[in-house]
Amino acid sequence: MTSYPHMLRPLELGFTTLKNRVLMGSMHTNLEERGDWNRVAAFYAARARGGAGLIVTGGMAPNAEGGVFPGASGLFSEEDIAHHRVITDRVHDEGGKIAMQILHAGRYAYGPDCVAPSAIKSPISPFPPTELDEAGIEKQIADIATAAARAREAGYDGVEVMGSEGYFLNQFLVTHTNRREDRWGGSYENRMRLPVEVMKRVRAAVGKDFIVIFRLSMIDLVPNGSTHDEVVQLAQAIEAAGANILNTGIGWHEARVPTIATSVPRAGFAWVTKKLMGKVGIPVITSNRINTPEVAEQLLAEGCADMVSLARPFLADPDFVAKAEAGRADLIAPCIACNQACLDHTFQGKVSSCLVNPRAGHETELVIAPAESPRRIAVVGAGPAGLSCAITAAQRGHAVTLFDQADEIGGQLNMARKVPGKEEFDGLVDWFAAMVKEAGVTLQLGTRADAGALSGFDAVVVATGVLPRDPQIPGQDHPKVLSYVDVLRGDAEVGRRVAVVGAGGIGFDVSEFLVTGKSPTVDLPEWLREWGVTDPDKARSGLAPDGPQPEAPLREVVLLQRKAEKVGKRLGKTTGWIHRAALMLKGVQMKAGVNYERIDDAGLHITRDGKPELIACDTVVLCAGQESLRALADAVEGPEVHVIGGADVAAELDAKRAIDQGVRLAAGL
């Protein structure tokens, strides 16, 4: 008897059956653009083998002007079709099904040829779009339909027409972006004409027995977006026009509400999808922040949707469904919704991968094969670098002993998990614990491994991490001065007025910790209030008329840095704005370009532009970065010593680099 009866139930579509209710949602991986089709196929085949009920590819452009960026991948020629056949064949060989997403970016296209219903530039692209004329609109519809026909020719089981997230079709639907006065603009009937026409033409192009999903924006979260009644009207028209399945889109990319970041509550928007249930006759999919089989099962059991879409969790673990089926959900590598190796990479033009699973997108290059000759390996330090290295080495057949002087595994992750909005780190540490056991790593906690204890091993991996940097501010031995370690471990009293020295990831985390009481991430109504989201039945687009209403901050915090640049500029591309916005909602003051002069009873004395200033405060928290802790590496004598993680390079250390380095080292040990 499975624990996930609703999730593992097949979905009958008439002409075909999906083997379960789990859709691998579309993600742009930047793999197609590299032209190594074997690598692309290996990526999708691994997810098919891992049991996804239906895979949706990253968005493929229907034409040059609709590509997300110049040169974006699409099915433009016979050669392209042949390339995609490599993917579909491999997925089918693994018993999977795969649909191609057709993504026309409209005014979100990052190129000078972009087109849109009206010539209104988007806030997230520097390129003003050209307003389409009647012939231009007909061309876009025809190109989307042709892309669908080519997808069928390439062996896909279906297509997903991207109609949400503020892309081209979505842009026609709302007056925010559509100011036309012809038959494609004005009344709602006119504004929805384009998506409906596209759906009709796509269906006509592909015939009956082919899956066509329409991804529909259920809550726009931008000014002048759709009402819920309009969403229902569109959904019914899209069904009548021939769609087999409706997928959920939440928020436009330009929305100032986080929709997928780690601080968004799990399944935080499933209630929006639920509002559509019973109003259409075709299956409805819900999405966003669904990252465990338990959450998926609960949503389906509660009737929020007929199917769930998980995207990033399939980067973290291609075997998500297979492990759930086997009753080993504890071994599913959790997506912590950090965006650091997936979306942030996409925006940097790098291949999307995963912080937790560096093999994602690198399946053909980073291979974990059995070791030719098993050896005795000591790993010192059970933070993310040491854990990943130990687990991977043990999976390869080495006899691995993992030492840590602490009584628990996790290293710096144990501090991250204390921060409101970073609850997902709990699951990551739990997963590491399950994997240590499963891989057969010998764990020696509460043990300070010295050079003597390590002498009998064939190889030693030093992953001893970091120490907080000493910023050497005069007066920092004052009792009001604390380190971030004291604060996040809860070992110290913090006053009401606080100066935070250093505005890196940890300065932001500490500020969040200091101003927040109960984490809104585990209290959905509170989170929705904090970000100004309401029922789209009550307010157009789901934006609360009175805006964000955060809880009062617990403390007055001033966050400081020496660099004369925007505070938080170096945080993650797709999440930095959320951290900044969250702190601003809580009244945190941010000061850049400061010099620290001294700390005394009055507070922290700084100068800015040569002028003295006093940050009157009860507590100063030092978050001035870290330095490598690598004394052990110098002390160990042996044939083979490796240094990884923060012990190797402390600057800009994060769990992504630590885990990647640990896995890659272990793959070659």
Q: Site residues (CB under 6 A) for ligand SF4?
A: 312, 315-316, 335-342, 354-356
User: Considering the complex, what minimum distance in angstroms separates the CB of residue 421 from ligand NAP?
Assistant: 10
Q: Pick one of ligand NAP, ligand SF4, none as the site partner of residue 354 (Cβ within 5 to 8 A by kind).
A: ligand SF4
Q: Which is nearer to ligand SF4, 168 or 320 (CB)?
A: 320
Q: Which does 563 bind (CB under 5 to 8 A by kind): ligand SF4, ligand NAP, none?
A: ligand NAP
Q: Which residues pair with 497 in a beta bridge?
A: 556
Three-state DSSP at 383 gives coil
Contact code string over 333-372 relative to ligand NAP, x by CB under 6 A: ----------------------------------------
Among 381, 505, 536, 550, binds ligand NAP (CB under 6 A): 505
Within 10 angstroms of residue 153's Cβ, the number of other Cβ atoms is 15
Cβ–Cβ under 8 Å, residues 406 and 382: yes
- By CB under 6 A, residue 469 contacts ligand NAP: yes
Question: Quick one: which H or E segment has residue 22?
Answer: strand 22-24
Query: Which residue in the list 44, 108, 156, 167 is annotated as catalytic?
Result: 167
Q: Write the Ramachandran bin of 19: left for phi over 0, alpha for psi from -120 to 50, otherwise beta.
A: alpha
Rule CB under 6 A: say whether 501 interacts with ligand NAP.
yes
Q: Which is nearer to ligand SF4, 47 or 642 (CB)?
A: 47
Q: In the structure, how many helices (H) and strands (E) does the chain have?
A: 21, 27
Question: What tokens appear for 521 in the block?
Answer: 């991430």
- Residue 238 interface partner, choices ligand NAP, ligand SF4, none, CB cut-off 5-8 Å depending on type: none
484 counts as catalytic: no
Task: Select the residue interacting with ligand NAP from 502, 520, 548, 568 (CB under 6 A).
Answer: 502
DSSP string computed for 288-314 = SS--SHHHHHHHHHTTS-SEEEESTHH
Under DSSP, the state recorded for 274 is: H
DSSP character string of 85-98: HHHHHHHHHTT--E
Contact 43, 31 (CB under 8 A): yes
* Separation of first and last alpha carbons in the chain: 40
Residues 585-624 that bind ligand NAP (CB under 6 A): 623-624
Smallest distance from ligand SF4 to CB 356, Å: 5
255 is in the binding site of which of ligand NAP, ligand SF4, none (Cβ under 5 to 8 A by kind)? none
Residue list 618-637, contact with ligand NAP (CB under 6 A): 623-626
User: CA–CA distance from 57 to each of 40, 60, 84, 183, 365 (Å)?
Assistant: 10, 8, 11, 33, 21
Least distance from C-beta 623 to ligand NAP, angstroms?
5
The least distance separating ligand NAP from the CB of residue 486, rounded to whole angstroms, comes to 14
Find the shortest distance in angstroms from Cβ 168 to ligand SF4: 26
Q: Beta strand pairing status for 22-24 and 54-60?
A: parallel
- The distance of closest approach from Cβ of residue 54 to ligand SF4 in the complex, given in angstroms and rounded to an integer, is 19
Residue nearer to ligand NAP on the CB measure, 140 or 340: 340
Distance CA 88, CA 83 (A): 9
What is the C-alpha to C-alpha distance for residues 469 and 307, in angstroms, rounded to an integer?
A: 49
Catalytic residues: 167
Binding positions for ligand NAP, rule: CB under 6 A? 469, 471, 501-507, 509, 561-563, 571-572, 623-626, 652-654
